Amino acid sequence: REPVSGSLLYRNNIISGAIIPTSAAIGLHFYPIWEAASVDEWLYNGGPYELIVLHFLLGVGCYMGRE
């Protein structure tokens, strides 16, 4: 029998949308501190949030890459 067409292989699962959200869905856009006019602007526009999320993703990548 062929696999169910709603499986993750066919990218047709309602859960797959929740597994890997797009960057727009989580509000993560690369906004380095040197692109802001001031530190206050960077703080106001979500700089610390981005820092936390990127460090979390870095930690996940390092954890997955361990031996």
pLDDT digits (tens, 9 = 90+) for 20-38: 656 665 555 778 888 889 9
Distance CA 12, CA 31 (A): 32
The pTM assigned to this predicted structure is 0.51
Q: What is the pLDDT of residue 45?
A: 85
Give the Cβ contact number of residue 44 at 10 Å: 10
The residue whose two tokens read 């820092």 is 51
Q: Which helix (H) or strand (E) holds 20?
A: none
Question: What integer is the mean pLDDT of 5-30?
Answer: 60
Q: Give residue-wise pLDDT tens across range 36-61.
A: 899 999 888 888 888 888 899 899 99
Residue 65 has pLDDT above 90, yes or no: no
Give the Cβ contact number of residue 41 at 10 Å: 13
Q: What is the pLDDT of residue 30?
A: 77
Domain ranges of the chain: 23-64
H helices of 20-64, where? 23-26, 39-44, 47-64
